[in-house]
Amino acid sequence: MLKLKFDLLGKDAVYLSNVNRYYNGLSTLELYRNLTDRVPALPHLKEGLDRYAHAYEFGVNGDRIEIALRKKARKDLTEMFEKILHFLQSVAVEDDIPALLQAGIEVVSPSRRKKAVVVPA
């Protein structure tokens, strides 16, 4: 199983840039087109992205209500991307790595623990 990663951290402007990049990449990814009902489809993802972008623009002035809406929209959008990530991890194979990288998704090699070697006294 491949370990995949989205960069969903950072300030709101960086986050918005990243999710737009991931949305564009997912729209061209063949793996993402074979969805189940539990994974957000592209129109649903675009709706969440637009809601966050709108809340970001209106929250810039410091209005507390708009900032609360922005935080809620970011949380919802992050949850959608996490569901998509889990779906892609479950269906992706080694042959899909170039397409995943082209879509902007990071492929992380799993960390392996080194076994402790006991030195005889």
Domain range list for the chain: 3-108
- Distance, in Å, from the CA atom of 14 to the CA atom of 29, rounded to the nearest integer, reads 22
- Residue 106, SS3 per DSSP: strand
Are 108 and 5 in contact, with CB atoms under 8 Å apart? yes
The reported pLDDT for the residue numbered 118 is 75
DSSP state of 104: T
Give helix 64-91 / helix 42-59 axis angle, nearest 10°.
150
- pTM for this predicted structure: 0.79
Q: Over the chain, what is the mean pLDDT?
A: 86
So what's the pLDDT on residue 74? 93
CA dihedral angle for residue 62, residue 66, residue 72, residue 77, rounded to 10 degrees: -90
